[in-house]
Amino acid sequence: MTLDRRTLLGVAALASAAPALTPVSASAQTRTPALAPPDPTEVVRLWPKGAPGGENVTVTAIVPERSTDPAFHDRFAQYTTDPILTVMRPLHPNGAALLLIPGGGYRWAVVDKEGLDVARVFAAAGVTCFVLRYRLPADGWTAGPNAPLQDAQRAMRLIRAHAADYGIDPARIASLGGSAGGHLAGLLAARRDATYDAVDAADAAAFRPDLNVLLYPVATMADPFAHAGSRQLLLGASPTPEQIAAWSLERMDWTGAAPTVLIHALDDASVPVENSLNLLATLRAAAVSTEAHLFQEGGHGFGIRLIAGKPAAVWPDLVQAFGSRNGWLP
């Protein structure tokens, strides 16, 4: 088509009458995806000279990433040989501390879901958090089922022995365990026996927590409510009745244990709510200050991210309220 001068002047007039368009920047046209928050950089090795009883251990540690969304991590630590604490310091510390013991069925220990994700919530409330990466019972450690508990006891002793370095009160250190980590946290709270020989001055500190939080815990090793995978990896394929009794939290003597709060969803298909209900009866019989919160829905392993917008999302607030009433939080 040929455009003469009159046509061009008409087009120019229409263009001048049209409203001006605001240029769109390149950054506005391309939305930057949300990225997962960075990991804390402060890490403490539990055993500077090596974890005890590793002479027959041949596994190699791995930390795979399961998330394909850059907005969050979903990692798990498997075949751990050098246990660590990852420290998350709050901007405004209130003197309280929390040892986080993630779950994973004693097959691995999740890093984010019941570890760093939960730590960020409590750190925002002023709590200094320590996420435990512990050894697993089926990896050849001499201590067998006691290997994870050795790490939990050592972690609590290190935190308490170095409380001044972290600006925390050594009498206000709680533990929080989820799923199989809840079983380990329960062992830490209930048992009175040290599971390893002292390696330095820190081991003179007490290892039992001042408050205990059990999040959908693997409590029993007995059928019909046991989590079969956790039991097998902890005790082997054919545990004896004596082993089952010795490692079931509801059959332990909880006398003198710290105040304990239980969190569970009624629709948990992996670890039935009876794990918490039966343990609750034991805690009450032992006169332990106890509170239980059972939610209609939530399933298993919900942590923080998976219950956003659901009733169970209030569980950290309930734990903080329980902690305030029982001397953990100001």
What is the structure's pLDDT at 309?
A: 87
pLDDT in tens, 207-240: 999 999 999 999 999 999 999 999 999 999 999 9
Place of tokens 């009498």: 171
What is the structure's pLDDT at 31?
A: 58
Residue 47 lies inside a defined structural domain of this protein: no
Residue 253 lies inside a defined structural domain of this protein: yes
Cα→Cα distances 234→81, 196, 213, 249, 269, Å: 17, 18, 21, 14, 20
Q: Give residue 34's pLDDT band: very low, low, confident or very high (50, 70, 90).
A: confident
Residue 10 lies inside a defined structural domain of this protein: no
How many distinct structural domains can be found in the chain? 1
User: Is residue 3 pLDDT above 80, yes or no?
Assistant: no
Stretch (H or E) spanning 265:
strand 260-265
Residue 300 lies inside a defined structural domain of this protein: yes
Residue 55 lies inside a defined structural domain of this protein: no
Give the residue-averaged pLDDT of 44-65. Answer: 96
Residue 291 lies inside a defined structural domain of this protein: yes
Residue 270 lies inside a defined structural domain of this protein: yes
User: Is residue 312 pLDDT above 80, yes or no?
Assistant: yes
CA-closest candidate to residue 96, choices 51, 67, 137, 127: 127
Q: What would you report as the CA-atom Rg of the chain, rounded to the nearest whole angstrom? A: 26
Place of tokens 């929080």: 176
Q: Percentages helix, strand, coil for the chain, rounded to the nearest 5?
A: 35, 15, 50
pLDDT in tens, 82-107: 999 999 999 999 999 999 999 999 99
pLDDT in tens, 72-84: 999 999 999 999 9
What is the structure's pLDDT at 32?
A: 61
What is the structure's pLDDT at 1?
A: 44
Residue 60: count other Cβ atoms within 10 Å of its Cβ: 8
CATH number of the domain enclosing 205:
3.40.50.1820
Domain encompassing residue 174: 61-325
pLDDT in tens, 130-183: 999 999 999 999 999 999 999 999 999 999 999 999 999 999 999 999 999 999
29-33, 85-89, 208-212, 324-328: segment of lowest average pLDDT:
29-33
User: Is residue 245 pLDDT above 60, yes or no?
Assistant: yes
Residue 2 lies inside a defined structural domain of this protein: no
What is the structure's pLDDT at 33?
A: 67
